[in-house]
Structure formats: C-alpha cells, structure tokens
Amino acid sequence: MFTNRVRPRRGRLGAASVVCALLALTGCSSSSGSSSSTAPASTPPGTTASGAARIVIKDFLFSPASLTVAPGTVVTVVNEDKTPHTATDAEGKAFDTGTIAGGKSATFKAPATAGSYSYICSIHQYMKGTLTVR
C-alpha cells in the first residue's frame, strides 16, 4: 500500500525533469544561433571547395537534384540503377556524360560560364536536375 503511493510521485518528478531538460536545450540552441552571426562566411553554402563534385542516379532520380559547383569542376556521375542513364545539358551541349551503363560512373566538366544549367537523362527525359555554376 505504502509503495503504491510513492510510485506516482516519482513519475511526476521524472516528467518534470524532462521538461527542465527541454527548456535547457531550447535555451542553449537560441544562444548559439545568435552567436553564429559573428562567424565569417568563408565559402557559400552548397559550393564544393575541393573542385570535385558527385551526382548519384538512383531509382530514376538525380541526387542531389540541384548542385552548385565552381566553373570547370569535374563532376562524377554514378549510376546506381541497373538501367543505363545519362546526364545531359537540356538546352545546349554544355555537357553530356553519354550513356552510363548500370552500376558504372562517368564524369563531365562543368561549364566555364556561370549560370544555371538544367540537365536531363536523354534516355528518360522526365529525369531532371539542375547544375548551378558560380
């Protein structure tokens, strides 16, 4: 009987400590968010600094669907499907991997001119991606 009365009280204490922990977490994240404004931005987000980039084709999708690279970056396209695919500039002939057999990879060189290039798989033209050069 006595122990039955104690148990619910412990449960309430446990819940209260969880709330305290959550409050501490939110307090912590808000303070770190304000301090990040002072940090210098060295590289724009989404830009590869190393000069190499990678696109993976899986389940008839380009991943990432949108990639930003520096002009002239060598981009490796990995085909993880069993079906052949390509990564082909949709508007001009700025780049084209040619047919990449299933399980294989190919490379192309990003255009030297900055801009946004939409590309497709020339075999499955509903497959779309965007390569941004800047």
**Which residues in this chain contact Cu ion in the complex, by CB under 5 A?**
85, 121, 123-124
How near is the Cβ of 79 to Cu ion at its closest, in Å? Answer: 8
Give the separation between CA 89 and CA 70, rounded to whole angstroms. Answer: 17
Nearer to Cu ion, 127 or 133 (CB): 127
Nearer to Cu ion, 124 or 128 (CB): 124
Residue 13, SS3 per DSSP = helix
Nearer to Cu ion, 60 or 72 (CB): 60
How near is the Cβ of 54 to Cu ion at its closest, in Å? Answer: 17
Token pair recorded at residue 47: 């830009």
Angle 118-49-104 from CA coordinates, rounded to 5°: 55
Q: Which residue is nearest to Cu ion (CB)?
A: 121
How near is the Cβ of 70 to Cu ion at its closest, in Å? Answer: 26
DSSP percent split of the chain into helix, strand, coil, nearest 5: 30, 30, 40
Nearer to Cu ion, 85 or 110 (CB): 85
Give the separation between CA 129 and CA 119, rounded to whole angstroms. Answer: 5
Give the separation between CA 5 and CA 134, rounded to whole angstroms. Answer: 68
- Residue 117 sits at φ, ψ, to 5 deg, of -110, 115
How near is the Cβ of 123 to Cu ion at its closest, in Å? Answer: 4
